[in-house]
Structures are given as structure tokens and as C-alpha cells.
Amino acid sequence: MDWHLGSELLDRYVTGDLDLARQAAVEAHVLTCADCQALASEQAPQPTLDEIWAGVVTATARPKLPWPLRFLQRLGLTETDAVILRSSTSLYRPWLLSLVGAFVIGVGGSMLSPTEQRAFYLLVAPLLPAITVAAAYDSTDPIRELASATPFSKLRIALLRTALAVAVALPIVLIAGLILPFVGAEAFTWLLPALTLTLLALTLLTWWNAPMTAGVVAALWLLVVGLLRSADQLTAVDTPFAQLAFAVTALLALAVLTIRITTRHAPGGYA
């Protein structure tokens, strides 16, 4: 090195008195000269250096988020919540299940007789969001173990992942229902049953794994629809009394879910 930085030159650099060429020369020299690096460190306040290095470490360790989560961040999702959602690779399965489910509704429904189309849509539409939740939040997922070591509420983690899975499934099924010719008022009346089945699935996940939970919820809903179909009472789902019953059941499932997740010593739970 033929030259080194002096205090005067560093002061001019800090205050912005140097032109762009000299600024670039100073920066290039500091990168390769240990003596000038030490001099520059003495010129900078230690709290400022600590803050800069903390920012470097955070930026380096920050995981790269997929585009759907980056989009949700623009809509208001916090970075902490986005990282929690990113931590599970199982969140990609609801996307595939939702698309396949909408395809099955369209193709399968068109192949049935008019009398069976209503029963088919009523069976699949409320069930699909619950199945996607089971796929997105398997109680054997590794994040279950990590949750106990984090300061985040287990209920918050569960509901975050549920909200993302339902946000994928509901619009796809709803759009499919609106554009299919054999679907009438059922395009909306299945929403409360879907919410009930989703909360039921999430509650059962505190006891069982995803395959068992999905199987039990599917069998239960198949039984309900089958009984209604055999009694020729499928329209009963549209009545205010039935919708109120679904709402009450959903609230009860939410209460049990909250108790299961927040009770520290619940056997088989999240604690």
C-alpha cells in the first residue's frame, strides 16, 4: 500500500464532502487494509457498529419466503408470522388438495344424475377445507416440538396455519360452486358446515395424527349427508335452524380446541 487513510480524510468521507470517485476509493481501500479498518472502527461509535452487525446477522439468517407469504406480508402479515408459516413444508399440500377437490366437484358432479348432484356437492364442499387443514397441520409435524420452545402461543400457531389452509381452500371451492350449473344456493350454505368440520378437525389433531383425523371427520360427515339423503332432507341444511346448529357446534369445537392447546398437561396435546 502506497497510502493510508487519515483522520481528516475519514471525517470528510463521513460528512459526505468527498466526490463519488474518492468515496469509492476510500471504501475499496478499507476493504483490503487492516490498519485503515482499525482506524475506521475507532471513528465509528460502538453502539452504531453493534446495531449494524446485528442487522447483518439478522438479514443473513432470515429465511427466504415464498411469494404467497411475501404477498400476505404486503397485506399486513407480520414477518414473525410469515416465518412461522414458512417453517412447515406441509403447507404446500393444501394447494394441491384444493385444486384436485375443485376438479373432482366439477367433473364428478357433471357425471351424476340431477338428484345426486346436490348430495355430492354437499358432501365434498364442506369437507375439503377440513381435509386441507389436516394436511397443513399434522400433529406429528416437527413444528409441534419447536412450538414448546418458542414464546409464541400454540393457539396462535395453530390458527395461523389453519387460516392459511382455509384461505386456499374456501375461494377455490366457492368459485367452483358459483360457476357449476348444478349448484344453486348450496354455493354459500356449506360455509358454516365447512367451518364446523374445520374446527373439529383441528381439535382432533390435538389427539390424533392427520390421516386418522381426516378419516374420522370424513366418515362423520359422510354419515350425516347419507342420513339426510336417505330421508330426502338435503334441503334441511339450508334452514336457519340447521345453520344455527352448525354455528353452535363450531363455537363448542373452538372452546375445546382452546382448552386442549392452552392446558399444559393435556395428555397427547401440544404441551
pLDDT tens readout for residues 165-210: 777 777 877 777 667 665 665 667 888 999 999 999 988 988 888 8
* Of the candidates 127, 116, 271, 139, the residue with the CA atom closest to the CA atom of residue 203: 139
Give CA–CA dist 172/96, Å, rounded: 11
Q: Which residue has the higher pLDDT, 88 or 34?
A: 34
Mean pLDDT computed over every residue of the chain: 77
What pLDDT shows up at residue 268? Answer: 41
pLDDT band at 159 (very low <50, low <70, confident <90, very high): confident
Q: Which residue has the higher pLDDT, 103 or 213?
A: 213
Place of cell 365447512: 194
What pLDDT shows up at residue 265? Answer: 44
Q: Which residue has the higher pLDDT, 52 or 214?
A: 214
- At 192, which amino acid appears? L
DSSP state of 193: H
Most confident of 41-50, 104-113, 131-140, 230-239: 230-239
Q: Which residue has the higher pLDDT, 44 or 12?
A: 12
What are 35's three cell numbers?
490498519
What is the percentage of the chain residues whose pLDDT exceeds 90? 13
Helix%, strand%, coil% for the chain, nearest 5:
75, 0, 25
Q: Which residue has the higher pLDDT, 21 or 143?
A: 21
Is-contact 161 144, C-beta < 8 A?
no
What pLDDT shows up at residue 139? Answer: 43
Least confident of 151-155, 195-199, 231-235, 245-249: 151-155
What is the percentage of the chain residues whose pLDDT exceeds 70? 72
pLDDT, mean of residues 41-53: 66
What pLDDT shows up at residue 266? Answer: 42
pLDDT, mean of residues 91-98: 69
Residue 132 has pLDDT above 60, yes or no: yes
Predicted TM-score of the model (pTM): 0.66
Give CA–CA dist 129/28, Å, rounded: 56
What pLDDT shows up at residue 227? Answer: 93
What pLDDT shows up at residue 53? Answer: 60
Number of other residues whose CB lies within 10 A of the CB of residue 201: 29
Is-contact 178 187, C-beta < 8 A?
yes
Whole-Å CA distances, 164 to 69, 106, 158:
10, 24, 10
DSSP state of 141: S
Is-contact 261 270, C-beta < 8 A?
yes
Q: Which residue has the higher pLDDT, 73 or 218?
A: 218
Q: Which residue has the higher pLDDT, 207 or 252?
A: 252
Whole-Å CA distances, 69 to 59, 75, 78, 165:
17, 10, 10, 12
- At 184, which amino acid appears? G
pLDDT band at 269 (very low <50, low <70, confident <90, very high): very low
pLDDT band at 217 (very low <50, low <70, confident <90, very high): very high
Q: If 0-12 CB within 10 Å is exposed, 13-18 middle and 19+ buried, where does residue 190 land?
A: buried
Q: If 0-12 CB within 10 Å is exposed, 13-18 middle and 19+ buried, where does residue 178 land?
A: exposed
